[in-house]
């Protein structure tokens, strides 16, 4: 039986996240997983809210998250990244379904994020599928 996935994609830093999303979708297909729904959100901060909605869907086994948080002039990127990571872990445990942290950052430059985009997209899917298969 194919794993049924939901994907949340942040639109902020679109040039990076669209590449991550394409890679994630391709990887899901390679692994034989089925993507049930793709939810787009304004930015990475909104990922947990959309992830929660997908986790509530009985037809979705796990959620892949896609985002890129670029380092700015303040510690805002760290605050956002740490908040997202904690909330996604909490949601995963609450719903007993795997949720990946496919969010680049904090402390990433635009160039670093561009370089890591495909790898992060692939690994985000790999993590959810592996947890479902070994769970």
Distance of CA 33 to the CA centre of its chain: 15
- Contact of 72 with 78, CB cutoff 8 Å: no
pLDDT-derived band at 93 (thresholds 50, 70, 90) equals very high
Element (H, E) at 67: strand 62-70
Angle between helices 110-134 and 14-31 (to 10 degrees): 30
CA atoms within 13 A on the CB side of 43: 8
pLDDT in tens, 19-64: 999 999 999 999 999 999 999 999 999 999 999 999 999 999 999 9
pLDDT for residue 135 is more than 80: no
pLDDT score, position 31: 98
pLDDT score, position 12: 97
pLDDT score, position 110: 96
SS (H, E, C) 64-98: EEEEEEECCCCCHHHHHHHHHHHHHHHHHHHHCCC
* Active site residues per annotation: 76
How many percent of the chain have pLDDT more than 70?
99
């Amino acid at each position: 039986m194919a794993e049924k996935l939901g994907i949340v994609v942040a639109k902020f830093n679109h040039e990076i996240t669209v590449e991550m999303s394409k890679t994630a979708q391709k990887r899901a297909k390679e692994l034989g997983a089925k993507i049930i729904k793709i939810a787009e959100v304004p930015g990475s901060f909104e990922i947990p809210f959309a992830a929660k909605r997908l986790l509530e869907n009985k037809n979705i086994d796990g959620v892949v998250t896609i985002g890129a948080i670029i380092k700015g002039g303040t510690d805002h990127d760290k605050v956002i990244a740490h908040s997202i990571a904690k909330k996604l872990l909490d949601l995963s445990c609450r719903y007993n379904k795997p949720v990946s942290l496919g969010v680049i950052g904090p402390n990433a430059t635009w160039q670093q994020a561009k370089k890591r985009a495909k790898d992060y997209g692939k690994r985000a899917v790999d993590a959810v599928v592996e947890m479902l298969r070994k769970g």
